[in-house]
């Protein structure tokens, strides 16, 4: 699941589109992918999973205001990542639980955590160095 999310994130924000004449329909379609309110990562996973369930249907993309070219690019990236894992003999485990997926993603952010110091600067936790917040 995380491999799928990574591949979807690799295509930037080019997954959904909003035609001017159908803004409300496009917004509703996007909301439907995030019904359980688990966040954007799980919504992207839902998009890819539902697209795969329809056997990668172009019509399904059109009906849900999703750019098929972006999904095809994400599928290619996903296939490449899975190939790399297979070649390097990384054991893959599947767990469709959204909370477990969120924990796995959050664990990767630990190296980016920083604490605000009295001086007003931020220092990273793992390897203490001064960092700045980008506006």
Q: pLDDT digit string (tens) for 3-62?
A: 999 999 999 878 999 999 999 999 998 888 887 778 889 999 999 999 999 999 999 999
Q: Is the dihedral of CA 48, 52, 58, 60 positive or negative?
A: negative
Summarised one tens digit per residue, pLDDT across range 52-104 is: 999 999 999 999 999 999 999 999 999 999 999 999 999 999 998 999 998 98
Q: Which token pair is 113?
A: 């955590």
Long-range contacts of 130-135 (CB under 8 A, 24+ apart): none
Tell me if 45 sits within 8 A of 105, measured CB to CB. no
For the whole model, what pTM was predicted?
A: 0.80
Find the distance separating the first CA and the last CA of the chain, reported in whole Å: 31
pLDDT band at 127; cut points 50, 70, 90: confident
Say what the pLDDT of residue 60 is: 95
Say what the pLDDT of residue 35 is: 76
């Amino acid at each position: 699941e995380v491999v799928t999310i990574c591949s979807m994130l690799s295509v930037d924000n080019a997954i959904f589109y909003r035609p001017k004449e159908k803004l409300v329909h496009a917004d509703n379609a996007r909301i439907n992918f995030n019904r359980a309110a688990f966040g954007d990562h799980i919504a992207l996973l839902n998009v890819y999973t539902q697209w795969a369930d329809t056997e990668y249907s172009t019509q399904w993309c059109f009906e849900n205001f999703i750019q098929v070219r972006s999904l095809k690019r994400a599928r290619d990236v996903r296939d490449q990542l899975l190939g790399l894992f297979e070649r390097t003999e990384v054991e893959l485990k599947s767990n469709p639980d959204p909370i477990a997926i969120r924990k796995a993603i959050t664990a990767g952010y630990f190296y980016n955590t920083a604490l605000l110091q009295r001086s007003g600067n931020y220092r990273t936790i793992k390897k203490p160095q001064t960092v700045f917040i980008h506006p």
